[in-house]
A and B are shown apart, each in its own frame.
Chain A
Amino acid sequence: MTVTEAPSLPRDIGGKNVGRPIDRVDGPAKTTGAARYAAEYPYPDLAHAALVHATVSRARITAVDTAAAREVPGVIAVLTHENAPALKPPPAVNPLNLSTLVSGTSLNYLGTDEVHWNGQPVAVVVAESLDAAREAAALVRPAYAELPAIVDFAAHEGEATPQKGNMIMPGGARKGDAEAAVATAPVSVDLRFTTPPYNHNAIEPHATTAAWDGDRLTVYDSTQNIDWFRRHLALRFDIPLDSVRVIAPYVGGGFGGKGMVWAGTIIAALASRATGRPVRLALTREGVYRTVGGRTPSIQRVALGADADGRLTALLHTSVTRRGHVGGGPEQVTSQSRHLYDAPNILLEQKIVELDLLSNTPMRAPGESIGTFALESAVDELAGRLGLDPIELRMRNEPSRNPIDGKRFSHRMLREAYALGAERFGWSARTPEPGSMRDGRWLVGMGVATAYHPSLQFAANVTVRLSADGTVLVRCGMQEMGMGVATAQAQIAADALGVPFTAVRVEYGDSTLPIAPGAGGSMQTASVAASLLAASEKLKRSVLTLARRTGSPLRARRPEAVEARDGGLWEKAGPGETYAAILARAGREHVEVSVGADRGLGAAVGQARFMGKVLLDRRRWVKAACGAQFCEVRVDPDTGEVRVSRWLGSFDVGTVVNAKTAASQLRGGIVMGIGMALSEETLVDPRNGRIMNPSLAGYHVPVHADVPPIDICYLDEPDPTMPLGLVGIGEVGITGVAAAIANAVHHATGRRVRDLPITLDRVLPG
């Protein structure tokens, strides 16, 4: 994969752009419709594809009757396991090649007569029009010999086995004897929580346009992981890596659902190869539910013991999640419980059960989103038992070092986040007694919970070109799913090179560009920023060398003595000149530098060096974004309807690059958390594993009327161990949200709901 040299990076580039609420550069293209998404690329001879999904959970396909489908006018081909071209199977996961993690399932689509989940694609129709493809797909009749299937998560909880940890995702942890300490604690809670399966529901359903030119494959796809995606396609279609080009400049939301390669992509490329036509396969919303994994459900236990003063003596958090027999991974449900509370006895345990269902896949803050629901609800319950304010209880147990192993925090300002949030939200107006606050007929409740998400970094390759006209081009194959990555990186480049924001252009979303990590784990911005800062330093040196060689008034030899500002290089208290002047005198059209190598030995060495540094860093520091979620709910005393009436998120997310897009990211996480807390749930029929609400009518994401005004504030204090002090912000916003709502519902009604979603029948049963 990729290389990044390990430069010494500036923590503060003192510029004019980082931190400002600059409008996103891709805004006009998106609002005018000029931005083109994966299903919008035209080819004159484009064909359209539609999937046929299995309606059983586990079976062998005994026959597929495609006669009626082939009769439909406009049908070009109906591909099944009986006639589809053979593909190489997905590779086994190899820790030395992380791109092997990218296969959504282990299934060789249309290459087997086996059915492993209800909804698995068993055929694809390619036709001249989308209507013809869909009409014909509805006429394909597979016949199955059904096999026994295990699909009911709740019923198979007991068969879960401990999940193993890895270098990125730790497994369990143990310190002291938490069970014994809970049993003997003066005050304790021991609680069971459940969370349902969820689906991502990005506004753009997954889509692929695939075209072959001989053995060269071009794929437009809604992926959030261009590089691994490309490697996977090369491997599956058995062609050289250089023969695959992936283009994904605009992705209409991902939330983790577009991090893996799913059936639609493979089948589109397969159908194109089989028919010799460019093929577009845009999944229906139902197709997304049936072929793209969602968030695993969970069953969790949290037990806390405390002394009479509210000091924790024990923290116990266990989880059971599920994966499919065909794939999916463990979810780090207890992650935040390693870091949030000081306790002498800690036991964390994560188990997993395998079912005949589609793989689970990461969804915004996998682990912490549902893990904080259980932990932060339990802390609230303990506060109630102790008669302590829930913020006070948290502050009494705020650790100075990482509780599980004594590592140092690179940066932790949770106390400050709570203080800021409580003040702005007006927490002091809350009367502690449940049911004590009213507004007319509404019961009013206020709740709070901690948000937490680990901070990660990956290698990224970046090229920066400075042109004679003073403009800057940043090239990096990163992915834009709506976060505003081009805007954020342009702000950083503008400050690092001392040019106006408008002088910087950023190219992204294409596999011909230098390789970037996938957009996941809230790490893209910091990872790319690290390389961009290194490249900017390198560029300054090159320009300075060029300046000196060509008789510039710049006399300084050491780059540290030179500042990049006002569109050029200037000695701190002396002469300088613009980039345009330096390049003009040198007769150069541009100066370009690269950070990282995309291929060959350089890539391998760089990768090893980078991962070594990351691991060393992880051994030394615990890095994270955190925050405090405050909410106010109103509960109808007759019906149990819960409406969130006010929200404030107070975050410690390091340096904020763009005040506007950062607030949007955090706000978006909170909106998604409101859905997770109150209304979202993927309904899986426990009899046959079939998802029964695969639509936005049946799967209730929040509508505008469900979302209150959301006030976002942050401390804007850099993390001293991260480039520019950046900490990822993509996921922390959703964490803690469900617990804050559950805690507020309890405060409003006295009713504690430990099962998500908090629907009205759980608030007022019977």
Chain B
Amino acid sequence: MRSFAYVRPPDVAAAVRAIAAEPEAKFLGGGTNLVDLMREGIEAPATVVDVTGLPLTEVEELPGGGVRIGAAVRNAELAAHPLIRTHYPVLSQALLSGASAQLRNMATVGGNLLQRTRCPYFYDGAAACNRREPGSGCDAVGGLNRDHAVLGVSDACIATHPSDMCVALAALDAEVEVESVRGARRVPLAGFHRLPGDTPHVETDLAPDELVTAVELPPPAATTSRYRKVRDRASYAFALVSVAAALEVRDGTVAAVRLALGGVAPKPWRAHEAEHVLTGAPATEESYRRAAEAELAAAVGRPGNAFKIGLARRTIVATLRELEP
């Protein structure tokens, strides 16, 4: 690991000033991903700006009925928060399905949003990886790619986004609040993460000097919601496929549905196609299947990961089935 300077600013203004002054600086949340990446030499910041001391640790109910979540709130705390458990069960479930208890105690909301892929070629400095080293190639395309993405991929990168929390946030239409010396702005979660295209190293809409300060959830829809994570062992594994779903059925018809997928795309994947097919359709297994097929129609499988296409379809259907009233 490269030696680095460490600062712990007391407030947001000082934090964004610190990063603006030092182009090779990085914000540090719980450190559950950044520290690993530094140990592997993939991240080598000259300065680490620890933001866990900032006053961003509250979960507040907003006047309009939504919830504002401070960026430094720990994953474990958020998952257990009564507002989240009661009104946004999909988010609580997604958080609890991620990592391990120890990691959830450390990981922050802001850090979770900015997790980097767990593609083994990204982690291995000896491998070609456009995300780590632009223009070097992608060893995953012709290599071991069982864990990789089938939607939204490019020839330059087929890595998945690893977060569970973000899949739930995508389904919930969350917004991300960011701040820099230039001021604050809001980014819809759907636009926060980018698809790889020709520039897989550009992973988010965030400028290098911007700090995530909060995530806001709109008022909860009157629906039941659920997060289903499919993985290779019962705990402490990234999703092969995950589904965040909220469903509202009236008189046997789908009145509203929100659906997002994890483990299948380079970003938390909002399943607009499936939602479009489902809305107004009868709440039946057949509709769910058609919706899942529509969403996965554009999927590109490779020898290692083609199974994810069928698995994602079946998991969507199963999750919606379980949400039926």
A interface residues, Cβ below 8 angstroms from B: 55, 131, 134-135, 138, 638-641, 643, 678-679, 683, 685, 687, 690, 692-693, 697-698, 700, 702-706, 759-761, 764-766
Q: Decide yes or no whether B230 CB sits under 8 A from chain A.
A: yes
Which of B2, B233, B318 is in CB contact (< 8 Å) with A700?
B233
Asked whether, in the complex, the Cβ of B3 is within 8 Å of the Cβ of A135, the reply is yes
Find chain A residues with CB under 8 A from B235 CB: 703-706
Asked whether, in the complex, the Cβ of A679 is within 8 Å of the Cβ of B118, the reply is no
Find chain B residues with CB under 8 A from A703 CB: 233-236
Count residues of chain B with CB under 8 A from any CB of chain A.
34
Which of A690, A700, A706, A760 is in CB contact (< 8 Å) with B126?
A690
Give Cα A639–Cα B322 distance, bound, in whole angstroms.
14
Find chain A residues with CB under 8 A from B314 CB: 638-639, 764
Return A297 CB to nearest CB of chain B, in Å: 15
B231 to chain A: closest residue by CB: A641
Give Cα A702–Cα B124 distance, bound, in whole angstroms.
24
Find chain A residues with CB under 8 A from B251 CB: none
Give Cα A638–Cα B311 distance, bound, in whole angstroms.
8
Which of A55, A643, A687, A761 is in CB contact (< 8 Å) with B311?
A761
Q: Assuming the A-B contacts A639-B314, A693-B120, A761-B307, are A706 and B234 also in contact, with contact meaning beta carbons closer than 8 angstroms in the complex?
A: yes
Return B320 CB to nearest CB of chain A, in Å: 11
What 8 additional pairs, Cβ within 8 angstroms, besides A690-B126, A703-B234?
A: A55-B126, A638-B315, A639-B241, A685-B139, A697-B236, A698-B120, A702-B233, A766-B307
Residue with the highest number of chain B CB atoms closer than 10 Å, among A640, A693, A697? A697
Q: Assuming the A-B contacts A138-B41, A697-B118, are A683 and B234 also in contact, with contact meaning beta carbons closer than 8 angstroms in the complex?
A: no
B interface residues, Cβ below 8 angstroms from A: 1-3, 39, 41, 118, 120-121, 124, 126-127, 139, 142-144, 146, 230-237, 240-241, 306-307, 310-311, 314-315, 317-318
Return A138 CB to nearest CB of chain B, in Å: 5
Give Cα A135–Cα B2 distance, bound, in whole angstroms.
6
Return A154 CB to nearest CB of chain B, in Å: 13
Find chain B residues with CB under 8 A from A765 CB: 307, 310
B230 to chain A: closest residue by CB: A639
Which of A639, A697, A705 is in CB contact (< 8 Å) with B318?
A639
Find chain B residues with CB under 8 A from A55 CB: 126
Give Cα A766–Cα B305 distance, bound, in whole angstroms.
10
B321 to chain A: closest residue by CB: A638
The SS class assigned to the B binding surface is loop
Asked whether, in the complex, the Cβ of B121 is within 8 Å of the Cβ of A692, the reply is yes
Give Cα A138–Cα B125 distance, bound, in whole angstroms.
10
Asked whether, in the complex, the Cβ of A700 is within 8 Å of the Cβ of B237, the reply is yes
Asked whether, in the complex, the Cβ of A760 is within 8 Å of the Cβ of B234, the reply is no
Find chain A residues with CB under 8 A from B240 CB: 760
Asked whether, in the complex, the Cβ of A764 is within 8 Å of the Cβ of B1, the reply is no
The SS class assigned to the A binding surface is loop
Give Cα A703–Cα B234 distance, bound, in whole angstroms.
7
Return A427 CB to nearest CB of chain B, in Å: 25
Give Cα A704–Cα B100 distance, bound, in whole angstroms.
11
Find chain B residues with CB under 8 A from A640 CB: 311
Q: Assuming the A-B contacts A639-B230, A706-B233, are A135 and B120 also in contact, with contact meaning beta carbons closer than 8 angstroms in the complex?
A: no
Asked whether, in the complex, the Cβ of B144 is within 8 Å of the Cβ of A679, the reply is no
Q: Assuming the A-B contacts A138-B41, A693-B120, A761-B311, are A641 and B230 also in contact, with contact meaning beta carbons closer than 8 angstroms in the complex?
A: yes
Q: Assuming the A-B contacts A639-B318, A693-B120, are A679 and B232 also in contact, with contact meaning beta carbons closer than 8 angstroms in the complex?
A: yes
Give Cα A759–Cα B231 distance, bound, in whole angstroms.
9
Find chain B residues with CB under 8 A from A685 CB: 139, 143-144
Find chain A residues with CB under 8 A from B139 CB: 685
Q: Assuming the A-B contacts A639-B311, A687-B142, A766-B307, are A692 and B120 also in contact, with contact meaning beta carbons closer than 8 angstroms in the complex?
A: yes
Give Cα A736–Cα B162 distance, bound, in whole angstroms.
35
Asked whether, in the complex, the Cβ of A135 is within 8 Å of the Cβ of B311, the reply is no
Asked whether, in the complex, the Cβ of B307 is within 8 Å of the Cβ of A690, the reply is no
Asked whether, in the complex, the Cβ of B1 is within 8 Å of the Cβ of A131, the reply is yes
Give Cα A131–Cα B39 distance, bound, in whole angstroms.
10
Asked whether, in the complex, the Cβ of B317 is within 8 Å of the Cβ of A638, the reply is yes
